[in-house]
Structure 1
């Protein structure tokens, strides 16, 4: 049995806010899983979502599209954390950093400084 391509761990942080921690690849095959998981969390009363991407190895255009779908849902804000340099570059080039709240973790910021320096 193959391991899942994407795992999503949901944690309710406080009233109306939940974190979805992703591990694996966010692509054509798995992006619908994120959209479904987020819809379920929002239906349970958590419109504010933090999506932790620290464990994501690959994010393609389908993953980016999933972020757009979640942000356009009108239910609440979507915040991305754990965004690495490569994904951050994709978000910048597509204009999604203007649509979404994108945070960069301290670990990734240190890694980015090492790449530059």
Structure 2
């Protein structure tokens, strides 16, 4: 089975806020793409980042690490569309206390932005 590529769609919401919509696998091979996108956002002065994970089919420890890098670079991130498996990983690692995460239906995510 071939690996699922990661697609990152960026939407600027307003001054200082941006949404990243991820689709595909967030893993060892694709985590650097998210880190690069975060570095670009930091350079543009974005302080609040919403990461829509509704389309993420897999997230491994490298993906969690990338989310932490984005958190540190942006200052504030909000994870939406978190599936059950990812929420369990966040809970087990204690990251749910650090990262604001919520599950959301597709309709909820569309209504946000």
The CA deviation at 1:39 is 1.2
CA contact (8 A) 2:12 2:18 kept: yes
Q: Which ranges of structure 1 fall in alignment gaps of 5 or more residues?
A: 108-117
Deviation at 1:68, TM superposition (A): 1.4
Q: Indicate yes or no: 2:20 matched with 1:32.
A: no
Partner of 2:83: 84
Q: Give the drift of 1:76.
A: 1.9
TM-score, scaled to structure 2: 0.86
TM-score (norm 1): 0.83
Describe the SS at the equivalent of 1:28: coil
Where do 5+ consecutive residues of structure 2 fail to align? 107-113
Task: Check if 1:41 corresponds to 2:44.
Answer: no
What are the within-5 Å matches in structure 2 for residues 41-80 of structure 1?
41-73=41-73, 75-80=74-79
Q: For residue 112 of structure 1, what is the aligned residue in structure 2?
A: none
